[in-house]
A = this chain, B = another copy of it.
C-alpha cells in the first residue's frame, strides 16, 4: 500500500467500511459475526474454524489444522478431543505414517458444518441498501480482491 494518495484514500475508505460490516468497526459496533455464529451453534470460534477447514469426505492430519488455525499443536489435541466427544469428527490412524492422526467429519459433523456455513455466508441485511446492479458490481470487485495473492509485506 504505497501507491498514489487518491488510491490509498479510496482503499482506506473501503477497508474501513468492511471492518464496520464485520463487527470490528468503531462507529456502529455490530456484534462480530464469526464468534456470534459459533456461539449460536455452541462452538468455540476455533472449533467452528476446524469444522470449516475439514472437507466432507476428506481426511486431514491434525498438524494441518493447527497450521490453518494458527494455533498450537497441544490446543489442536484439545480441540479435536472436544469435537470428537460431541461426535462431530473422528480420529483415524494414518496408514502411511504411524505418527500422524487423520481427522474426518462424521455425518453429524458434515451437518453442523453445513449449518455453520449457511449462517456465516448469509449476507448482512445492510446489503439491501444497494440495488441489483450495485450489488453485482460490488461482488465482482470484492471477488477480484479476495482472489488476489496477498503480497507479503516487507
Contact = CB atoms under 8 A, between A and B. Distances in A.
Copies assembled? 2
B135 A11 contact: yes
Contacts of A130: 141, 144-145
30 contacts: A1-B123, A7-B132, A7-B136, A10-B132, A10-B138, A11-B127, A12-B121, A12-B122, A14-B138, A15-B123, A16-B121, A17-B139, A18-B18, A18-B142, A19-B34, A21-B142, A22-B22, A24-B120, A25-B146, A26-B117, A124-B145, A126-B145, A126-B146, A126-B148, A126-B150, A129-B144, A130-B145, A134-B141, A137-B141, A141-B141
Nearest to A70: B31
